[in-house]
Structure 1
Amino acid sequence: MADSLTDYEELAAAVLPSAVRDFVAGGSGFETTLHLNRAAFDSVTLTPRVLGGITSVDTTWQSFSGASMPVVVAPMAYQRLLHPEGELLLARAAADAGIPYTISTLSSYPLEKIAGTGPSWFQLYWLRDRLLMESLVDRAEAAGCTALMVTVDVPVMGRRLRDVRNSFALPPDVVAANLVDAATEAHVGVPGLSAVAAHTASAFEPAVSWQDLEWLRSRTQLPLLVKGILDPRDAVRAVEIGAAGIVVSNHGGRQLDGAVASIDALPAVVDAAGKHCQVLVDSGVRSGTDVLRALALGASAVLVGRPLLWALAVDACAEGLGLLRKELEDAMLLAGCADLAAAGRLTTGRI
């Protein structure tokens, strides 16, 4: 039994192989941005309001398909590395919690099987094979996904030194189930190399442009969210091509090492685009207080990633999401916020 969402990392460490722990926990380069994400969240202070007569809070988020709280399960690859049921178990927990689950292009179960468990979004990496991309979009629509999230910050995979040093490769029973080349170089360990990085290098298209994003916008009727934006100028461009949402994200510190912390980039992106689309944020969210911090800085909602993978590893997804909800409700009560709109009006500062 955990007391907070952060407890699951230690619990998972007792049951996972060290290379899998490193694959989930690690960042790129010297992991500067990985650590900066947490430091930036911890530096945000909130000024609570008092005497509001509040005895309960409304955490309901109305955007896109709607949710019981402003939380979305982030897209994360190869979840069968952590539990045999992988994505299916975490998606069911998200459905029971009343929040969207984002299916990764690199999920280890087919997207149709995951989407059948509850409200789902689909995350799309830009692939060299455009026909395969079109097929994935069609499949996501047919499976009932209610939003399409395109990740734009991976022209190449960041150099993740833990995986390089571990010569990390996927076990035979964990595959990229949505891709036709499920049995790939991702399973072939080579000393001093990451097999997962080798696979993405062969599958992902590095030369993606705004024109490509315009094509994708024209290709689907689903609301389009653009994930991986940190510069407000890019946020403006995303709005111009018709994005319904922006995810302010540095990929959890796994892409450009030295990139700005997502929570630090959030306010400028909100100022640039927030009146025209929903602005979400990820990278470093570890508690209900972090969710409240993000809302106070202008976010519509947050994406939560690693903590839920650690919970998945110990078969505690539902418990973890329940703890996150309790933490958010407590934080809102203590801050004097009856609803999300009030949370967005809180005054913030910096330590």
Structure 2
Amino acid sequence: MKPAAPRTDTRKPRLTTSAMIASIAGEGQRTKPAPFGHTLVELAKEDGSILGMTADLGKYTDLHIFAQAFPDRYYQMGMAEQLLFGAASGLAAEGFTPIATTYAVFASRRAYDFIHQTIAEEDRNVKIACALPGLTSGYGPSHQATEDLALFRAMPNMVVIDPCDAHEIEQVVPAMVRHKGPVYMRLLRGQVPLVLDEYGYSFELGKAKLLRDGYEVLFISSGIMTMRALEAAKALVSDRIDAGVLHVPTIKPLDAATILACCAKPGRLVVVAENHTVIGGLGEAVAGLLMREGVHPAFHMVGLPDEFLAAGALPTLHDRYGISTEALRARVKGWLT
């Protein structure tokens, strides 16, 4: 009997990325390890007021690097986020500069009132750096901080920053330490992509930066969606669509002047892209600004839906909820045709 021919498996390879892994770097993408932790250590060598504090998540917010360098200035508060932020406020009142880390869901949801009352209302010099922002975890709603920007934007005195990559984080950390008052920063941890160094970018607190110009589409983005917007803009070239990217890392205070100037250019589509629910984040902040100032471009928002998201592998979830590069490219093409 003639042996049967081997079967060819035409199925797509199964995505095996663990829901635990919060890496947003693409295959072969340049990365840098733990930019937050290493930058903080360098700052602390010169500034003795800097303290590192966490709620049982030092390893998972890259604060363990600080703990190894300055064990006598590191405070492990246990799984007690309210205690973490209350103690940070007290230490700030005594002249220290506490850097408090946890997951974004635990700061924005579990400890909201403690931050609101003891840090924001008192205008205390506490810096809050939170990992797993938006859809950077496959754990499901318990760990997906899809509404953190909306919550922290609502706090008076609070500066809110959503950095894009390792290059920017290395500049954000000293800037937020220099700022006198409370700061909330979305934290990318572990092997963090390198993107903005290719554009000669430098971070300035409260400033948006035009990374590339385009006469048909303007992406306005923050965080990892700036990386996606830049990738989509490059891909759209083959579709004969010219797209620009305005990076807005400081969500509050918003750089109104730069946003208005860029959106006032006639004849191009404005697309706000964010790794956050479409409720209360960058998109609605920009939309409100444009309406108040009487600037009315064609306008769309790309963000996470107003629902509890699924658990699973990040590439699958990013495609499903429309924040992958290909999903962003496809939506822009659809809006222009």
TM superposition score normalised by structure 1 = 0.29
Q: RCO higher in 1 or 2 (8 Å CA, sep ≥ 6)?
A: 1
**Hey, which of these two has a bigger chunk of strand by percent?**
2
**Hey, which of these two has a bigger chunk of helix by percent?**
1
Which is higher, the Rg of structure 1 or of structure 2? 2
TM superposition score normalised by structure 2 = 0.30
